[in-house]
Chains A and B, each alone.
Chain A
Amino acid sequence: MSSIGTRLPRKEDPRLLRGRGRFGDDISVPGQLWARVVRSPAAHGHIESLDVTQAAKAPGIAAVVTAADLPAGLVIPVRLAVPGPDLGGYLQPVLARTTVRYVGEPLAVVVGEDPYACEDAAELVEIDISERAVVLDARTADSHHVAAELVRGYGDVETAFAQARQVVRIELAVGRHSGVPLEPRCLLAVPGPPGAGSLDIFGMTKVPVWNRDLLARLLGLDETLIHVHGVDAGGGFGVRGEFYPEDFLIPWLALRLGCPVKWAEDRAEHLVAVNHSRQQHHRIAAAFDDDGRILAITDDVTHDNGAYCRTHGVAVPELTVAMLPGPYRVPAYRGRIRVVLTNKTPCGTYRAPGRFEGTAAREHLLDVAADQLGLDRIELRRRNLLGPTEIPHRRPIATLGTDLILDTGDYPALLAAAVAEADRLGYRAKPAGSHALHGFGLALFVEKSGLGPQETADVTVSKSGAVHVHSGGTSVGQGIETVLAQIAADALGVDPGVVRVTAGDTNAQPFGAGSWASRSTVVGGSAVHLAATAVRERAVELAARILECDSADIAVRDGAAVVHGDLAARLTLAEIAQAAEPASRYLRPGEPAGLSARRRFEVSHMTYPYGAHAAVVAVDPGTGQVRVLRYLVVYEVGRAVNPMLVEGQLRGGVAQGIGGALFEEFSYDDAGQPQAVTFIEYRTPTAAEVPPVDLLISTDAPSPGNPLGVMGAGEGGVSAAGAAVANAVRDALGLAGGVGQLPLVPSRVRELWEGLS
């Protein structure tokens, strides 16, 4: 029986439920020192002096280092390069040497025997910074703060707008927020024996092989001397596992001091140090013909990237304008985005990067346009969706180095299903007798998933019959061990219970490309499928040799090779693995020993899942409070390896999306001091703010681009949440224009309401 498609309980659960998870800070080694990063208290300024004398003398302190101790010119390079802009002048130094550009920028590191002593000593570092003027509003910043400008598009936009019957324009600002996983970052670096020059590292995730290679290059080491171990990670969401200053500093300190060094970030640090995301201002316009058909879309976007370009370079801005046309037939399009550097925490990806923002702008524009055109909001979308005969649809746009080809699906059918489901559940029935204002919002979106170029997997059957999967994906809480076990079990003909998945270990899988961009099931899963299939074929070949029968008569079922029509002839995979040992008489000369295969899945295009979100909100016009009462996600994923996990991804995504739409914002005062530095000001939703989420998961459009037919499910719960909530609030308030900005915090909603009267 196939285990793909079953709601298999997660293999991760028992250890996590028992408190036996192995998160970064759960791992300690004898003789370990602790590190504390000293961060800039100023948003912009010249470092006049950094006096560490008193800190270095504090009790229990082993070392205090500043930029003066580091190799000169050390900056963190871009991982996801977009062709075109040269970002070399905007990269973040590991430690600031002469200039600080945001509050929280690392200035020094204190290392000592316990974290309390380190925090005390960090307070003794005397920081003298002569402050300079700060840039906080990307829209009004001078042109020399623009790190890059990107334009993506096609067609004759000017003519389309000139000939339009109606042109509709809105502005929408999206607030600065981010992944904010529950586990802060942590790193433990353990140097090998004296003279070995090796390092064991715990706490890197997402792209451990890339991080290992970069670290090796920065340290001048052979990369195989660094072993990044796979550990549990308390949520990724795009931010965790990128290469940050600490990813150099902690290993470097461990080598320099010759002893293990651990750094465990605290929450206040996390909120100013980890990648922020999302902050954009859109000026979007659409031209329509007499029938409400889109002739062209333009979007002029200002992207506030914070103080530096980090590992994502300008990938988020690029994705924003590349993905903006979404599921619609858009004959002409131009998206222009200016990437502006400001004196705030640098930005990177957060789950559904560029799509949360762009979907909000486009879908909000469509609601305003429908009202102006005198069309039903759903009918306007129906008229403009690409039809099934137009798929695959190639947009003359490149993103992340791939051509944008909407590869599969029936968008109008999904819209019809979403509307029918929302109506069946009573979403559009106005409740009687409530003094709150109720609104319904719907938004459509296209996601992307399965970014290549490759993923590698090794599958090995050991002599006990256990199946070992060494994947290049990493565990960030998404359930990758379970999903890959199901895929391996399915291809190999074993119970998923005997499959043991190792993810994120650079020695186990040195060719891994990591877990991000909703790629693990698609690309990582396909690699496991190929490797497990190769192992099954090898097992059949060996079984035929041992049993002296035709391999065409052999199948692998329940962990054993069985011969068609001969019940007695049966070999377990354990027995076959034993027969494949070196010196076995069943091995031919030159044949590799072991029952094992390494396979690489290569793919040059992404696969594009798509969906709809619908929200019902209640707005209290007196307080401005918005409550999300009901929420529906309809999502096409091609094939669900484990439907329970797909549901979990979507529900969790919705909660984060509601956070970004209503609550979460990194705000700053006029001096560039961050105002959201605890969980009191940075408001991630609790169970009181997140409604039960209705789901309709569709598997009608298998992806043509991979052997499993799957599309990624990691981001579709977030993508259209800003849009659906904004549309629902606009509906509740009865606005003629748009809501103007997200998040829709009470003060903003009150302003909108008072603006009406």
Chain B
Amino acid sequence: MKDMHHVDVRVNGRHHELVVEARRTLADMLRHDLGYTGTHLGCEHGICGACTVILDGQPARACLVFGVQADGASVLTVEGLADGEALSDLQQAFSDHHALQCGFCTPGFLMLIEAYLAEADPAAELTAEQARELIASNLCRCTGYQGIVEAVLAIARARRDQRGAT
């Protein structure tokens, strides 16, 4: 007998109710039960970070979280970043700085960076070293990371300037 549980979760602002096996990972639940296939699985042991989502405001590796642990939680996935048809500023910066090639690791980087920038001191300047340290949490096999570093720095600066202007 499978050990099934009821889960009540909000994904990108949309409410879902479903029944999942206790051992089902949040990543599999998002991808295969709810259709949010933008969250990717690169290692399933918590190293590569391709499956990073924002779980109640915190970046989390969805391969290391069970679906049932997201009961009552709010999840933001890559599908929730863009505003309608317009890319988010960070997504646009990734394209501008050629921060992606195959794009498989990209959702994880976007979610990691979004979570970081949401928490970071808005007044402090992000250095290239800090940007590298941040994105060293995840693996990319295509880009050599330089475009990702440039995109993070550009957006951190742009958002700081924006706050300063308002």
Q: Indicate with 1 or 0, residue by residue over A421-440, a CB within 8 angstroms of chain B CB atoms.
A: 00000000000000000000
In the complex the two chains form, is A235's CB within 8 Å of B141's CB?
yes
Number of chain B residues close to chain A: CB under 8 A: 56
Which A residues touch B95, using CB under 8 A? 9-10, 13-14, 17
What secondary structure prevails in chain B residues at the interface with A? Answer: loop
Q: Indicate with 1 or 0, residue by residue over B9-43, a CB within 8 angstroms of chain A CB atoms.
A: 00000000000010110001001100011111111
In the complex the two chains form, is A644's CB within 8 Å of B101's CB?
no
Q: How far is the CA of A199 from the CA of B50 in the complex (A)?
A: 31
In the complex the two chains form, is A182's CB within 8 Å of B91's CB?
no
Contact of A477 among B43, B102, B110, B135 (CB under 8 A): B102
Q: How far is the CA of A184 from the CA of B77 in the complex (A)?
A: 21
Q: How far is the CA of A23 from the CA of B103 in the complex (A)?
A: 10
> Whole-angstrom distance from the CB of B153 to the nearest CB of chain A?
12
In the complex the two chains form, is A652's CB within 8 Å of B24's CB?
no
In the complex the two chains form, is A183's CB within 8 Å of B102's CB?
yes
Which B residues touch A684, using CB under 8 A? 139, 141
In the complex the two chains form, is B146's CB within 8 Å of A180's CB?
no
A/B pair count, beta carbons within 8 Å: 173
In the complex the two chains form, is B77's CB within 8 Å of A19's CB?
yes
Q: Indicate with 1 or 0, residue by residue over A459-483, a CB within 8 angstroms of chain B CB atoms.
A: 0000000000000000011110000
Q: Indicate with 1 or 0, residue by residue over A13-50, a CB within 8 angstroms of chain B CB atoms.
A: 11011111101011010000000000000000000000
In the complex the two chains form, is A184's CB within 8 Å of B101's CB?
no
> Whole-angstrom distance from the CB of B57 to the nearest CB of chain A?
19
In the complex the two chains form, is A17's CB within 8 Å of B100's CB?
yes
Q: Is B133 positioned at the interface, with any CB of A under 8 Å from its CB?
A: yes
In the complex the two chains form, is A688's CB within 8 Å of B101's CB?
no
Given the contacts A679-B43, A679-B48, A18 and B132 also touching, CB distance less than 8 Å: no
Q: Is B145 positioned at the interface, with any CB of A under 8 Å from its CB?
A: yes
Q: Indicate with 1 or 0, residue by residue over A174-188, a CB within 8 angstroms of chain B CB atoms.
A: 000001111110000
A654's nearest neighbour on chain B, judged by CB, is B144
In the complex the two chains form, is A234's CB within 8 Å of B45's CB?
no
Contact of A12 among B91, B103, B135 (CB under 8 A): B103
Q: How far is the CA of A20 from the CA of B32 in the complex (A)?
A: 14
In the complex the two chains form, is B139's CB within 8 Å of A182's CB?
yes
Given the contacts A20-B38, A687-B148, A267 and B44 also touching, CB distance less than 8 Å: yes
Which B residues touch A18, using CB under 8 A? 38, 78-79, 81-82, 87, 91
Q: Indicate with 1 or 0, residue by residue over A660-685, a CB within 8 angstroms of chain B CB atoms.
A: 00000000000000000011100010
Q: How far is the CA of A9 from the CA of B31 in the complex (A)?
A: 28
Q: Is A690 positioned at the interface, with any CB of B under 8 Å from its CB?
A: yes
Q: Is A618 positioned at the interface, with any CB of B under 8 Å from its CB?
A: no
Given the contacts A19-B36, A651-B143, A477 and B101 also touching, CB distance less than 8 Å: yes
B78's nearest neighbour on chain A, judged by CB, is A19
Which B residues touch A679, using CB under 8 A? 43, 45, 47-48, 139
Which B residues touch A182, using CB under 8 A? 40, 42, 48, 50, 102, 104-105, 139-142
In the complex the two chains form, is A17's CB within 8 Å of B110's CB?
yes
Q: Indicate with 1 or 0, residue by residue over B52-73, a CB within 8 angstroms of chain A CB atoms.
A: 0000000000000000000000
B145's nearest neighbour on chain A, judged by CB, is A687
In the complex the two chains form, is B82's CB within 8 Å of A13's CB?
no
Given the contacts A17-B91, A23-B40, A692 and B146 also touching, CB distance less than 8 Å: yes
In the complex the two chains form, is A17's CB within 8 Å of B87's CB?
yes
- With A181-B104, A182-B104, A687-B132 known, 11 other A-B pairs at CB within 8 A are A10-B95, A16-B100, A26-B37, A180-B141, A182-B48, A234-B42, A652-B142, A652-B143, A678-B47, A686-B135, A693-B146
Please provide the 8 A-B residue pairs with the shortest distance between their CB atoms, ordered closest to farther. A19-B38, A477-B102, A16-B103, A234-B104, A651-B144, A19-B78, A679-B47, A655-B144
A–B pairs, 11, beta carbons within 8 Å: A9-B95, A18-B38, A19-B78, A182-B50, A234-B42, A235-B104, A267-B42, A648-B147, A653-B144, A654-B144, A687-B145
